[in-house]
Structure 1
């Protein structure tokens, strides 16, 4: 890291988007690329397994502004995070081909875990949000692929896609010696939104009816699934696709049974449900959300639901995140999310509240135009798998919450 007077590794390792919290980082500069009013440094953390590449744009200023954290200092000035500086942020939009003549301000959102989001005002009103990906992978990011396809199809259930920015960098693991991936993308900013989790939680705490919202959400998810199938295609599941799902289900079940005695007590019944599901005719494979829950949907004031964050698991290789999957996986995630909202809210009639939301969501999904038919046994198997995964997490991190996934397992097996 000879380009720096002081090693910036400590700053990178403190950021919320740094994924290597479990090990001592070992950084090196893989590449340094010119960017608008900044330099885009690509830091490789060789201590991770696998090594991880980070997108770290830095800008040089004569005097740090309020909110700047000095990363390096030399005779020419101070190096700070470029995402907090308008020239760099607006420059990225211009690189995407967007008209930036009406941009009047920028601000970085707080609370992001794996990326950095920047909001842009046009004529004083927030209209654009840009997501800068902090971990880079070869291949187009699914957030871009999916949201662009849905936006071009005219889907009313996602924010309007505006543009994206790619880059190349050295990669000795590829025959070409070069990788290419997504740095950032921009989409419509939706003012005044609330995420579905916070809304559902308030309703669950108060014991308020949420079935209307759940129905609307079921219609939105069905619309997204139908549009994705039409825009990006579907495929008949091969025997190896079914086999790989079976392996994943049984691996998680074995881990849970070894760590959670209550899951071990339900092992035979769980394996029986998996066997039955694996013998059923499976639906066609297609692109899905992949991590759908109430926190991934936004309620627009007087505008219904928008589904966001199609990125998938940020640490998985891009080619794995692009593999077509089964729509019931998304449905199972949302059904479990209603159970968790009821449990966390702990309001009157919590179990009945969750059951009513789930029934309304499923009824709307199956009745929507172009809906994908849900085999009840396959859906139960995906719900079971989700609850089994949750039981491992809760046993390791929040033992007092173990009753929530165990109830989900029992419901799937009932």
Structure 2
């Protein structure tokens, strides 16, 4: 009992624990042997609206280092977070089928939110990164599916995929009594990369042109859409898909209008765009990124952009995250991200800076191989839906930022809005 209590207390304090809105109720669902003499504990938290399963590998160490947080004590000594120990980390990499003969060390990256990333050195240089999923679901993680497919297709817009690892665990809700899902995957580590959000903020702050970078991003997003549409399931947007999307738009609009007076004032105008979009031609639905913004792209020195983090919402069921979606949703996400970068960067001409980025991105996307046709009314609806959601988020969490999505709503409602 004390073991479970200590382990639960540690998990509840981690950044990747997603149940901070409720009092957790943990139980150890399973304990499995892991590389390097570690044990993989699977902790179920069923106190929230949906049960969540957490992946917690622990290693026994005789003498913990200052970097080690002793999580629990058992009969063999202190147990610490296993990803910080090379015997476990390199062993997991080997189980993925990656050649580890030249690996000389490993380290955990700090600042990770929903997962744990481990970087491996070969001959003293970082060359491999392993993403260890902390929340597990039945089914292959979309980050693995999408990046493996894109890498196999030779896409230059994602890091090279190296391998992945699955596990099984008890699941009384399944006819077989067993669930199977992804523990993690490995890909090339890109040296010297910079986060797209950071670069864009600097450009906006320094009033530097960002349109060439925006054009390159448009080409990259189109290339990814084309490769995913060719390799994975696609489907026509039928009446049920259209109505489900419309219901989601309306639901988010009603929530925002109830909490943000400025959105309530614009309710009729926003809803009119939504209604008009229902009668427009919709593209085929396919796998997309689903949460695309400047923070999800990396600039490689002399190597263009790489798009990362195709995982989707970590707590959504895996089958939902694999459902085909509208490619213009990714386009809308990037357009909104330009607006945020311009505003947060604090440039005196933030609106003009963002508008130039949007125009360059859309022009490049539309002319690139793999691009999906962008209907202006549908894209306008998707941009508005994103900004409406942002207004609710900012009102609840960052009121000082609320003017950013409100300005985005007004821009998208303007007759001359540049949206395709």
After TM superposition, the score normalised by the length of structure 1 is 0.98
Structure 2: distance between partners of 1:336 and 1:277? 19
Seen in structure 2, the aligned counterparts of structure 1 residues 5 and 338 have a Cα distance that, compared at 3 Å, is closer
* 2:394 pairs with 1:394: yes
Structure 1: distance between partners of 2:94 and 2:12? 30
Q: Which residue of 2 aligns with 1:259?
A: 259
* Superposed CA offset, 1:113-168 (max 9, x none): 00000000011110000000000001100000000000000000000000000000
* Superposed CA offset, 1:244-274 (max 9, x none): 0000000001111111111111111111101
* Superposed CA offset, 1:177-216 (max 9, x none): 1110000100010011001000000000011000000000
* 2:174 pairs with 1:160: no
Structure 2: distance between partners of 1:312 and 1:411? 27
Q: Which residue of 1 aligns with 2:110?
A: 110
Seen in structure 2, the aligned counterparts of structure 1 residues 5 and 259 have a Cα distance that, compared at 3 Å, is closer
Q: Which residue of 2 aligns with 1:36?
A: 35
Q: Which residue of 2 aligns with 1:380?
A: 380
The Cα of 1:5 is off from its aligned counterpart by 8.2
Structure 1: distance between partners of 2:104 and 2:229? 39
Structure 2: distance between partners of 1:58 and 1:325? 38
Q: Which residue of 1 aligns with 2:188?
A: 188
Structure 2: distance between partners of 1:397 and 1:17? 19
Partner SS state of residue 121, structure 1: strand
Partner SS state of residue 6, structure 2: coil
The Cα of 1:8 is off from its aligned counterpart by 1.4
* 2:185 pairs with 1:176: no
Q: Which residue of 2 aligns with 1:97?
A: 97
The Cα of 1:7 is off from its aligned counterpart by 2.6
Q: Which residue of 1 aligns with 2:132?
A: 132
Partner SS state of residue 378, structure 2: helix
Further displaced range: 268-277 or 60-69:
60-69
Structure 2: distance between partners of 1:74 and 1:89? 22
Q: Which residue of 1 aligns with 2:418?
A: none
Structure 2: distance between partners of 1:160 and 1:295? 19
Partner SS state of residue 8, structure 1: helix
The Cα of 1:74 is off from its aligned counterpart by 3.4
Structure 1: distance between partners of 2:305 and 2:41? 37
Partner SS state of residue 7, structure 1: helix
Alignment: residue pair count = 413
Structure 1: gaps of 5 or more residues: none
Further displaced range: 257-266 or 143-152:
257-266
Assess if the C-alpha contact under 8 Å between 2:39 and 2:59 holds in 1.
Answer: yes
Instruction: Describe how 1:58-73 pairs up with structure 2 within 5 A.
Output: 58-73=58-73
Structure 1: distance between partners of 2:161 and 2:87? 22
Structure 2: distance between partners of 1:197 and 1:344? 10
Structure 2: gaps of 5 or more residues: 415-420
Further displaced range: 151-160 or 22-31:
22-31
The Cα of 1:79 is off from its aligned counterpart by 0.6
Q: Which residue of 1 aligns with 2:406?
A: 406
Q: Which residue of 2 aligns with 1:12?
A: 11
Structure 2: distance between partners of 1:207 and 1:341? 12
Partner SS state of residue 33, structure 2: strand
Q: Which residue of 1 aligns with 2:308?
A: 308
The Cα of 1:6 is off from its aligned counterpart by 6.3
Further displaced range: 159-168 or 259-268:
259-268
Assess if the C-alpha contact under 8 Å between 1:206 and 1:348 holds in 2.
Answer: no
Q: Which residue of 2 aligns with 1:229?
A: 229
The Cα of 1:66 is off from its aligned counterpart by 3.1
Assess if the C-alpha contact under 8 Å between 2:4 and 2:27 holds in 1.
Answer: no
The Cα of 1:372 is off from its aligned counterpart by 1.0
Partner SS state of residue 175, structure 1: coil
Structure 2: distance between partners of 1:82 and 1:258? 46
The Cα of 1:370 is off from its aligned counterpart by 2.7
Assess if the C-alpha contact under 8 Å between 2:42 and 2:54 holds in 1.
Answer: yes
| Two-structure CA RMSD over aligned residues (Å) | 1.1
After TM superposition, the score normalised by the length of structure 2 is 0.97
Give every structure 1 segment of 4 or more consecutive aligned residues whose post-TM-superposition deviation is greater than 3 Å: none
The Cα of 1:234 is off from its aligned counterpart by 1.8
Structure 2: distance between partners of 1:45 and 1:29? 9
Structure 2: distance between partners of 1:111 and 1:74? 29
Assess if the C-alpha contact under 8 Å between 1:285 and 1:325 holds in 2.
Answer: yes
